[in-house]
Amino acid sequence: MSGQRAALSSRALDGLTVLDVAGPWGGYCGKLFADMGAEVILIEPPAGAATRHDEPYIHGASGRENSLVFQYQNTNKKSVVLDLNSESGQAALRKLSRKAHLLIESEAPGVMAERGLSYEDLQSDAPQLVMVSMTAFGQKGPYAQWQGNDIVAMAMGGMLYLAGYTDTSPMVAFGEQAVGAVNVFGAVAAMAAVFEAEESGRGQHIDVSAQECVVMGMENAVQFYDLEGTVRQRNAGEQRLAGTGVFPCDDGYVYLMAGGVGGNRFWPDTARWLIDEGVPGATSLTDACWLDTKFLSSKEAKDRFAEIFIPFALKHTKAALQSKGRERRIPIAPINDTSELDTAQRQHRRYFVETASSAGVRLRMPGAPYMLSETPWALHHAAPVLGQHTEEVFLAQGFSKEQIHVLLMSKGDIQ
């Protein structure tokens, strides 16, 4: 979107047209554009996007308008039904691409080419088009044709190996983190390419690998192996250092970081706090051995600190412990469950937003974790009903109602 259009709009991406071809890696990438004001047209097959059948469902009732996953990932989008396996559907997408800035797809490598809808095919008529392809392993290479989903990407990206307890098999993180990562990285790369295309007039093809996105989230595990030959291990449920980790309290758990990074500063502050509170044994925490990282990593140190801190923590709530720690600038935080997320801070920022499903059911969902002062994020409408905007979109493209009817009937009625 040009600077001139931005100046005339209250939405950051107003004037940008995105074609979001429903695929196995979901629709969060397109949502990021739609929620910032781009016109995002969700291209669905006659049976609807696969995510329309992802659980959980609204009130537990299955149905293509009841998936909470779909309802969240597709806010502010328009829905168009096209059978991309038919000649008429393929021709229609080619026509749509001529006025689009970005096309997002996540089919297996080669599927779009078989339809005559590869980046090279579309670029001949739409040189400005940027195309983002999100797959498990990328478009080329020895793994390109392998099937993959979230847990496969997490496993082969190394993240799964690090998740879980020392005495159990690896455990996958909740919430399909690989799916989220490939969509976010795809959106960032797409935004950069769209801006470049406005300058050069030429689009480009962006190839995003979910496996590689997972590797990007491995913190320093890759560097440990590269530099030292050390393979980091799972350590959930165990403290790496005394005074640093999860501790029980009166109404749940808190995370305390007294040792380790910044330990020379935080440890004396923590010791003084517990001494001032009259905690039995706290004076021993001022001994010089507690500033030795090697000692902090020992079982003796972990057990001794737990014997001193846990009885004190069990007498206080998460909020009270955090408040006391903040007064002394000690890193301590409550571990919140989902019932505790809507705090005064999020209410102040109006983070959670409300909309209604197509059936009129009230839905409450996360908004955006960022606030733009001049072109703010906004939820304008809920996820669309299947095919809700087919006629509107194609009439705007110059199709007659008869031609639209042919498109809808080319592979069965959407109803």
pLDDT value at position 263? Answer: 55
The pLDDT score that the predictor gives to residue 173 is 85
8: pLDDT strictly greater than 60: no
48 φ/ψ sector (left φ>0, alpha ψ -120 to 50, else beta): left
Write out pLDDT tens, residues 99-112.
999 999 999 999 99
Longest dimension (CA), the chain: 85
Q: Is the pLDDT of residue 1 over 50?
A: no
Length of the chain: 415
Tell me which of 101-105, 198-202, 227-231, 309-313 is least confident.
227-231
Residue type, position 115, single letter: R
Q: At 82, phi and psi to the nearest 5?
A: -140, 135
pLDDT given for residue 177 in this prediction: 94
- Between 261 and 80, name the one with better pLDDT: 80
Residues 376-396 have pLDDT tens digits of 999 999 999 999 999 999 999
pLDDT at 4: 40
Could you report the per-residue pLDDT of 264-283, keeping only the tens digit for each? 789 999 999 999 999 999 99
**Domains of the chain: residue spans and CATH:** 17-217+351-410 (3.40.50.10540), 239-335 (3.30.1540.10)
User: pLDDT tens for residues 66-98?
Assistant: 999 999 999 999 999 999 999 999 999 999 999
What pLDDT score does 262 carry?
54
How many Å apart are CA 315 and CA 244, to the nearest integer? 19
CA distances from 48 to 35, 70, 131, 384 (A): 21, 11, 22, 11
Relative to beta strand 39-44, strand 77-81 is parallel
From the list 304, 313, 310, the residue with the least C-alpha distance to 285 is 304
The secondary structure of 215-261, three-state, reads HHCCCCHHHHHHHHCCCCCCCECCCCECCEEEEEECCEEEEEECCCC
**404 or 199: which carries more pLDDT confidence?**
199
For the chain, the C-alpha Rg in angstroms (whole number) is: 26
Residue with tokens 């194609």: 394
State what percent of residues in the chain have pLDDT above 90: 75
Question: Considering the chain, what percentage of its residues have pLDDT values greater than 70?
Answer: 95
What's the whole-number mean pLDDT along residues 318-328? Answer: 96
pLDDT at 397 over 90: no
Distance CA 94, CA 132 (A): 16
Residue 260, token pair as written in the block: 């380790």
What single string gives the DSSP state of each residue in 357-389? Answer: -TT--EEEEE--S---SSS-----S-PPPTTTT
pLDDT value of residue 261? 63
Mean pLDDT of the chain: 91
pTM of the full structure: 0.89
**Whether the Cβ atoms of residue 128 and residue 104 lie closer than 8 Å to each other:** no
The pLDDT of residue 410? 63
- Residue (of 179, 202, 204, 200) closest to 190 by Cα position: 204
- Judge whether 51 and 26 are in contact, CB under 8 Å: yes
pLDDT greater than 50 at residue 9 = yes
Give the model's confidence band at 224: pLDDT under 50 very low, under 70 low, under 90 confident, else very high.
confident
Q: Are 397 and 95 in contact (CB under 8 A)?
A: yes
Helix (H, G, I), strand (E, B) or coil at 39: strand
